[in-house]
Amino acid sequence: MYDHLPGGDLVQAGLRDLERGIESPNALLVASFATRLRREGVAVPEHAIANPEHRLYELLAQEDPDSAHGRYNALVRRLVSFARALPCAS
């Protein structure tokens, strides 16, 4: 559905994981942008994840503390690109 947009793969995977209750990096990323994505018409499932931004960073740091900051910023940049491209695709 969103494959044609930058970061669309992340959003689709995050939406699937949120729907299934899986706390993956993609799900946490989508959860952290839920308000903005919903405003753009993306059906983000309701979730009970408190502070998804912090949880995402913690998860990335558990996997590899040395690269967590860079990976976090790269994921956020991809989601921002998606959110910016979404209105143009409509």
> pLDDT tens-digit profile of 5-61?
999 999 999 999 999 999 999 999 999 999 999 999 999 999 889 999 999 999 999
Task: Give the pLDDT mean for 76-88.
Answer: 95
State the burial class of residue 35 (Cβ atoms within 10 Å of its Cβ: 0-12, 13-18, 19+).
exposed
pTM: 0.92
Does 87 score more than 70 pLDDT?
yes
Task: Give the pLDDT mean for 58-73.
Answer: 97
The residue segments making up the domain with residue 40 are 8-89
Q: Is residue 42 part of a domain?
A: yes
Q: What is the total residue count of the chain?
A: 90
Rounded to an integer, what distance in angstroms lies between the CA atom of residue 48 and that of residue 31? 9
Q: Is residue 3 part of a domain?
A: no
Q: Is residue 2 part of a domain?
A: no
Number of domains in the chain: 1
Q: Is residue 27 part of a domain?
A: yes
